[in-house]
Chain A
Amino acid sequence: MDLHTLSISALQTRLRSGETTPSAALEALESRIASVDPKVGGYLSRNLLRARQEAAAADVSLPLGGIPIAIKDVINVQGDPCTAASKILQGYTASYNATVIQKLRAAGAIPFGRLNMDEFAMGSSTENSALQRTSNPWDLTRIPGGSSGGSAAVVAADEAFASLGSDTGGSIRQPAALCGCVGLKPTYGRVSRFGLMAFASSLDQIGPFTKTVEDSARLLNVLAGKDPMDSTSLEAPTEDYTRLLGRDLKGIKLGMPKEYFIEGIDPQVDATVRAAIRHFEALGAEIVEVSLPHTQYAVAVYYIIATAEASANLARYDGVRYGHRAEDLRNIQDLYIRSRSEGFGEEVKRRIILGTYVLSSGYYDAYYLRAQKVRTLIRQDFEAAFKKVDALICPTSPEVAFKIGDRSGDPLKMYLADIFTIATNLAGNCGISLPCGFAQMEGSRLPVGLQLLGDSLQEAKLLQIAHAYESSTPWHKERPVL
């Protein structure tokens, strides 16, 4: 039996019945990785020895007992490398565990493997990794999306049962859509960010990549909750996120934001998502059109706020306490400038400079403060929409995975790939992407993602709606041939 192909719930059934063991599951996974990862390139490293010890000692009665979970290289696992796919952190070993890692371990899971990403989570294609190229498992000449490209690719390629990623402007949902798996961005503050290397602190959120919606709910059950180490984590009590799974959609109202069905969307993506919407109608959901009038400003607001926050957060990489330090230094100023200039990649420098500019004296009000005010209007758009509907339904990305190298050299075009995901982060709401079909592109069959957006803390309902679709469609069962 091909253990590596199983979902978490299917694997767990076999672990608890004694049909297989955590050690056998880990070895099946490792052998799958050895055979396909040379092509996919999702993993940066793996600590197999430690994982074997943890598997041998695993308690399968725990919520995720004995299940390996792969981790984006921006979340600290004590003793593992943690580089954010940047040269500036090459050789860095995490000194402590992120809260999500403590929670995974407490639930019996085995954090296993470091996953490639765009450097410091800045990008939409994983091409900005300073360390490695990751390919889309459905077509190795195409990008897996980003910034959590490794997290999506390894789940889609059955090289992980599930993984963790982070989403600042779509970095979980967009790669999940492009690789054909389930990616959940929880409400801002629902999951602790302690131990996640900061990119844009008011937008970053950790979430799971899984093969099924049920697995997503089960992981959120483990990850969610207030953390004294993250003062922005929410006090609101957690709930059993699986509790609404299996309920039908009678009485559920879904809103189609008219600004998300615009010219410029790939026609096959548009047709596939519209077919999914008709399917929801057949399942009993009511579909209504809604408007989010400030949508067109979301990308501009995002690239001011996210870069401003990044310029402050990345000031800590100064060559003094950790990370790359330049050689033959004349003085302390030289140490800062040369260590940073040698260590950071091109996109990271570009964003630090942009963020520094919008915060600099004389420009703060015109750019940063104005962007924060438009952010309020974007948030209010969502508040008004969620008074009318239970969730919003739209494409995750306006296109399918593009060819490696197609967008490099045009940052603005790359930024516009995030138009349907970015506003959710600005508003702080939750969203999920799940497979809803395929597009035929130059001889390749490429996944299309459906995005459902929920109001703040409405994850249980969002997962219910996603689950109803998934259980009545075949898309999540499709696997790339590798």
Chain B
Amino acid sequence: MSADFDVRHTAHLARLELSEAEAAKFQSQLSQILSYVEQLKEVDVSGVDPTAQTAHTVNVFRQDAEREWFTSEQALANAPRQANHLFIVPKVIE
């Protein structure tokens, strides 16, 4: 399964770009980790339900009510670029 692990393709899915050196290193390290996790195949999981969380919560609802939260100044305080109460990004539509 892990034989077809392609580090560059997967990195791109996560919007990461790797240098040649990083790609070679991660390819080998992650292939090693993926072969380590292969041991899970030997466990009989037939009829076992998956555990996604342990808090035993069901859907949690709240009132759709206004409350005090950030002002736009606060929300923008850490923005790398901003103007007119907006985040500035490179042009999205050509």
Chain A contact residues, CB within 8 Å of chain B: 91-93, 95-96, 188-189, 202, 228, 231-234, 294, 296-297, 299-301, 303-304, 311, 315, 318-325, 329-338, 340-341, 344, 346, 349-350, 352-357, 360, 363, 366-367, 369-377, 379, 411-412, 415, 426-428, 456
Among A92, A95, A320, point to the contact of B74 (Cβ < 8 A): A95
> Digit string of B39-54 for contact with A (CB within 8 Å is 1, else 0)?
1110101001111111
Q: Is the interface of A mostly helix, strand, loop or mixed?
A: helix
Closest B residue, CB atoms, query A342: B17
Query: Would A294 and B10 count as touching, CB distance under 8 A?
Result: no
CB of A349 within 8 A of CB of B48, answer no
**Interface-centre pick from A228, A349, A357 (highest chain B CB count, 10 A):** A357
By size class, the interface of chain B is 35 or more
Task: Give residues in B with beta carbon < 8 Å to A.
Answer: 1, 5, 7, 10-11, 13-18, 22, 26, 29-30, 32-34, 36-37, 39-41, 43, 45, 48-55, 57, 60, 62, 70, 74-75, 77-81, 87, 89-92
Closest to A334 in B: B90
Q: How far is the CB of B18 from chain A (nearest CB, A)?
A: 7
Q: Is the CB of B62 within 8 A of A373?
A: no
Could you jot down 14 A-B contacts, CB within 8 Å? A93-B77, A234-B55, A296-B39, A301-B40, A322-B79, A330-B90, A337-B15, A337-B16, A349-B11, A353-B14, A353-B16, A357-B5, A363-B1, A411-B29
What's the Cα separation between A360 and B7 when bound, in Å? 13
**Alpha-carbon gap, A375 to B89, bound state (A):** 41
Closest to B46 in A: A373
Given contacts A335-B89, A353-B10, contact A367 B78 (CB under 8 A): no
> Measured between C-beta atoms, what is the minimum distance from A81 to chain B in Å?
11
CA distance A311 to B79 in the complex (A): 22
New contact pairs (11) apart from A323-B80, A412-B32, CB-CB < 8 Å: A232-B57, A299-B36, A311-B14, A318-B15, A320-B80, A321-B75, A324-B80, A367-B40, A379-B54, A412-B33, A415-B33
Q: A297-B40, A337-B16 are in contact. Are A329 and B54 (CB under 8 A)?
A: no
- A321 vs B89: C-alpha distance when bound (angstroms): 10
Query: Is the pair A370, B55 in contact by a Cβ cutoff of 8 Å?
Result: no
With a CB–CB cut-off of 8 A, which chain A residues contact B75? 95, 321
Rounded to whole Å, the gap between the CB of B70 and the closest CB of chain A is: 6
Contact of B40 with A371 in the complex, beta carbons under 8 Å: yes
Residues of A within 8 A of B11 (CB): 349, 353, 356
Docked-complex contact B16 and A96, CB < 8 angstroms: no
Q: Do residues B51 and A379 form an inter-chain contact, with CB atoms below 8 A?
A: yes
